[in-house]
Amino acid sequence: MLERDPDGEHPVAVVGNPPSADPTLSAPAGEHLRLMADGPAVFAADQRFLTLPATAAARALQAERLAAQAARARELTEIDKLRAALLAAVGHDLRTPLAGIKAPSSWPPWTPLPTR
């Protein structure tokens, strides 16, 4: 399976031996994808026959890419949850001592401290 991008075509999936430099069979397999294979020239004339496996291969490639994106999204969600938990814990740990430091320093110097 070859994928076309601005730099040209490059293989994205290979099964078995890579096709020769001039493969006999070629069929479109979706947007920017093309199935290339070596085989009997008699099959090359029937594009309907070649389009079926080409479309199936393109769908399998798309499913693989979507699964990888979903796994990355799950990973990012977990990272975000850990980041939020860490920030909440650190924020609480910092606010408690700061409140104790801030309270006495906010008293005016002429006000006597309360006695018990």
Between 92 and 35, the higher pLDDT residue: 35
What is the per-residue pLDDT for 70? 97
Could you tell me which residues come within 8 angstroms of residue 25 by beta carbon, excluding any fewer than 6 positions away? 35, 36, 37, 38, 39, 43, 44, 50
Instruction: Give the pTM.
Output: 0.59
**DSSP of 51-104:** HHHHHHHHHHHHHHHHHHHHHHHHHHHHHHHHHHHHHHHHHHHHHHHHHHHHHH
> What is the reported pLDDT for 45?
67
pLDDT in tens, 17-73: 777 777 777 888 888 888 887 777 666 667 777 888 888 889 998 999 999 999 999
Tell me which of 4-8, 74-78, 90-94 is least confident.
90-94
Higher pLDDT, 103 or 41: 41
Pairwise CA distance, residues 58 & 1, whole Å: 8
* H or E stretch at 49: helix 47-105
Mean pLDDT, all residues of the chain: 80
